[in-house]
Amino acid sequence: MDDDELPALLRRAGDAVADALGPLVDWGPSGARDGQYRSDVVADAAVRDVLEGAGVGVLSEESGTHRLDAARVVVVDPLDGSTNASRRLAWFATSLCVVDDQGPLVAHVRNLVTGRRYEARRGGGATVDGAPLRPSGCDRLDEALVGLSGLPPRHLGWAQFRALGAVALDLCAVADGTLDAFADCSVDAHGVWDYLGALLVCREAGVPVVDAHDRELVTLDHAARRTPVAAATPALLDELLAARRTFGAPPPLS
């Protein structure tokens, strides 16, 4: 499979998840581990059925790693926002990102409620349903609508905030101008599958995304956790980062 075939592969995977979840009746806990829902398991199986035989490695939140030595590895969150899905809160997605030896190459984030597709290719821009993405251009925190994950200890200076519950979609909402910024206010709660597809979407749309503690966001370590922060403009990112860095530093490495 060459690089030009990868966007279609990711679209098929996203479609497979939507098809698999459509008839699902039991959206409750899987019983296999804390925090996992039956929908996570069903979504993961659907993605793996599409990716198997495509000649790619896989890093999935739900089923771990397979062939990380492959030239291209697909980082998968089969169902980002599964708690939302279990409560019928209409904000959850499938996120996929192909990584090669230069980093993120192709990304696909599909809103499983609306069907909207955020897609990006390294050096090729980012789109939503085929239309170019346009961030808001907001450059002041006191004028910004900020998406949050986790609870900060105090007001950080925004005009308004929203806690929506699906990091991939939250970040894509910064890329399309729905939100002005996003801040993870938890401490190392997010794996690479949560944000990597949306990271490429954001960067190709001109939205800077960084880790709050200056760590590399692109990793194929399943155990790694990061704290992503994004903003429509560099000026807004600087202001939001300064506020975010006043609390919640990660523990030192042992």
The structure tokens listed for 7 are 């966007």
Query: How many other β-carbons are positioned within 10 Å of the β-carbon of residue 211?
Result: 18
Question: What letters, b where the CB count within 10 A reaches 16 and e where it falls short, cover 174-187?
Answer: bbbbbbbbbbbbee
Domains of the chain: 3-132 (3.30.540.10), 141-244 (3.40.190.80)
How high is the pLDDT of residue 252? 66
The radius of gyration of the chain from alpha carbons, rounded to an integer in Å, stands at 17
Dihedral Cα 15, 10, 87, 129, nearest 10 deg: -80
Q: Kindly state the greatest CA–CA separation across the chain.
A: 50
CA distance linking residue 200 with residue 181, whole number of Å: 16
Q: Which residue has the tokens 């808001």?
A: 136
How high is the pLDDT of residue 251? 64
Beta bridge partners of 116: none
Residue 88: left if φ>0, alpha if ψ -120 to 50, beta else—which one?
Answer: left
Note the Cα 188 to chain centre separation in Å. Answer: 15
Query: Each residue of 45-100: pLDDT tens digit?
Result: 999 999 998 999 999 999 999 999 999 999 999 999 999 999 999 999 999 999 99
C-alpha closest to that of 147 among 188, 91, 106, 86:
91
User: Model's pTM, two decimal places?
Assistant: 0.96
The structure tokens listed for 88 are 């019928």
One-letter identity of residue 206 = G
Query: Each residue of 4-18: pLDDT tens digit?
Result: 999 999 999 999 999
Spatial contact of 85 and 39, defined as CB atoms under 8 Å apart: yes
> Which segments in the chain show pLDDT lower than 50?
254
Strands 145-149 and 181-184: parallel
Spatial contact of 209 and 199, defined as CB atoms under 8 Å apart: yes
SS3 79: strand
Q: How far apart are the first and last CA of the chain?
A: 41
Query: How many other β-carbons are positioned within 10 Å of the β-carbon of residue 152?
Result: 17
The structure tokens listed for 83 are 């708690």
